[in-house]
C-alpha cells in the first residue's frame, strides 16, 4: 500500500508550501517584510501584482437612496508574488506578500 501512495502524493502536490526559503546564505520566513526579502535574496526573476478581496471577506447588502438593495463587494487589497530561480536542480520559489509582509512561500517546478 505504501508504494501506491507515494506516486499519488507526488502527483497530487505540484506545489509545496513551506515556512522558510533559503536564498544566498540567509533565510526569509513568513512575516518578513519586502525590504528584508530584497536585502537577503536580491531582485526576483519575476514580480506579479494583483488586487484580491481580503480572505474571509463577504459582500454586504445595503439599501440605496431609493430603497433598492445593493450588494457591496469588499474593497480589494494588493497582493504581490515574487518568483525566484535559486539555480539548476532547485525549485522555483514564489513568495506571496500581503500588506508588505510574506504570507506564504511556495515551491514550484524544478529548475532545468
In a domain, 9, yes or no: no
In a domain, 70, yes or no: yes
Residue 5, pLDDT > 70, answer: no
In a domain, 1, yes or no: no
Residue 2, pLDDT > 80, answer: no
In a domain, 4, yes or no: no
pLDDT digits (tens, 9 = 90+) for 25-67: 899 999 999 999 999 999 999 999 999 877 777 888 888 899 9
In a domain, 40, yes or no: yes
In a domain, 93, yes or no: yes
pTM: 0.72
User: Which residue range is the domain that position 44 belongs to?
Assistant: 16-110
Neighbouring-strand partners of residue 46: 83
Domains of the chain: total: 1
The three cell numbers locating residue 60: 454586504
Residue 75, pLDDT > 90, answer: no
Amino acid at each position: 500500500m505504501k508504494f501506491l501512495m507515494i506516486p499519488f502524493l507526488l502527483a497530487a502536490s505540484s506545489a509545496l508550501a513551506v515556512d522558510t526559503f533559503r536564498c544566498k546564505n540567509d533565510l526569509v520566513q513568513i512575516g518578513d517584510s519586502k525590504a528584508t526579502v530584497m536585502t537577503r535574496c536580491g531582485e526576483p526573476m519575476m514580480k506579479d501584482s494583483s488586487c484580491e478581496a481580503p480572505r474571509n471577506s463577504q459582500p454586504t447588502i445595503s439599501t440605496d437612496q431609493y430603497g433598492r438593495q445593493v450588494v457591496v463587494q469588499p474593497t480589494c487589497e494588493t497582493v504581490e508574488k515574487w518568483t525566484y530561480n535559486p539555480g539548476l536542480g532547485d525549485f522555483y520559489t514564489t513568495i506571496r506578500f500581503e500588506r508588505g509582509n510574506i504570507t506564504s512561500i511556495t515551491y514550484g517546478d524544478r529548475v532545468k
